[in-house]
């Protein structure tokens, strides 16, 4: 394997992750890690999980969204796991949603999610060193209006200054991490419309912009589900 970023090599050394358990994720600076490695680390670190909350389940559509809470010592994290024919070929969609949620939760507890993803988070993550990956291979197509403008997503901008792949990777990684750090729909929209975001977003090539629109849409849906759950708890 080529030289790894320090944060990835440090993670591997700290938690005993082998070189054959990690590989690059297409389209960005992040890496995928095997589910078995994440399970092993969770056991070694004594990570425990509460009973998952089913946010949505449609047996006819074979889709499920669950929310999982995990604890490591005094630290607690939560996250969602989603599985449907649109993002998984696995027939056991409930098990896949749970696996994705738990893996994400473990990586969040280890402060590694964003640099590392579970191999089960997207079908293409399972293919070591893929050469070409399109945004539509990972995310559902972004909804657009009759003028081709994204609906409730990052506005259309023309790629600006041409940068090398190596120059674009840290920009993509920073924008992805900042986007996923927003904790409300209002905050997400404000961030996606900010000059700081759009100036850097315009430096990315078109397909990398499309990847970020997919990340934006996925995070938007997760925040929407969370706010619906908060409203239901308040009403109860």
- Give 139: exposed, middle or buried? Use CB within 10 Å, 0-12, 13-18, 19+: buried
Q: For the chain, what are the domain ranges?
A: 141-236
pLDDT at 78 over 90: yes
Contact 82, 99 (CB under 8 A): no
| pLDDT, the chain, mean | 85
Residues 73-91 have a mean pLDDT of 89
- What lies within 8 Å, CB to CB, of 46 at 6+ separation is 72, 73
Residue with tokens 């994440």: 38
**In this predicted structure, which of 13-17, 47-51, 61-65, 100-104 has the lowest mean pLDDT?**
61-65
pLDDT in tens, 25-71: 776 568 899 999 999 999 999 999 998 899 998 888 889 999 999 99
Q: In this prediction, what percent of the chain has a pLDDT beyond 70? A: 85
pLDDT of residue 121: 83
Enter the tokens of residue 9.
């090599």
Enter the tokens of residue 174.
């920073």
Return d(Cα 228, Cα 233) in angstroms, integer.
9
pLDDT of residue 208: 85
Whether pTM exceeds 0.75: no
Residue 150 DSSP class: B
**In this predicted structure, which of 47-51, 157-161, 205-209 has the lowest mean pLDDT?**
157-161
Return d(Cα 40, Cα 42) in angstroms, integer.
5
pLDDT at 232 over 60: no
């Amino acid at each position: 394997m080529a030289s790894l970023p320090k944060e990835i090599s440090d993670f591997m050394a700290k938690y005993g992750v082998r070189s054959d358990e990690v590989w690059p994720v297409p389209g960005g600076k992040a890496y995928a890690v095997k589910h078995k490695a994440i399970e092993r680390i969770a056991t070694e670190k004594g990570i425990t999980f509460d009973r998952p909350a089913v946010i949505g389940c449609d047996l006819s559509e074979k889709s499920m969204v669950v929310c999982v809470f995990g604890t490591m010592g005094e630290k607690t994290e939560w996250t969602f796991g989603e599985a449907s024919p649109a993002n998984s070929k696995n027939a056991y969609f409930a098990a896949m949603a749970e696996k994705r949620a738990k893996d994400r939760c473990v990586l969040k507890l280890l402060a590694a999610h964003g640099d590392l993803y579970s191999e089960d988070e997207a079908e293409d993550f399972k293919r070591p060193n893929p050469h070409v990956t399109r945004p539509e291979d990972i995310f559902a197509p972004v909804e657009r209006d009759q003028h081709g403008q994204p609906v409730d997503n990052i506005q259309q901008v023309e790629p600006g200054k041409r940068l090398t792949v190596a120059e674009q990777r840290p920009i993509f990684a920073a924008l992805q991490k900042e986007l996923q750090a927003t904790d409300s729909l209002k905050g997400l929209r404000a961030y996606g419309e900010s000059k700081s975001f759009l100036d850097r977003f315009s430096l990315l090539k078109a397909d990398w912009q499309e990847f970020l629109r997919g990340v934006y849409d996925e995070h938007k849906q997760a925040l929407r589900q969370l706010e619906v759950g908060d409203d239901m708890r308040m009403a109860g």
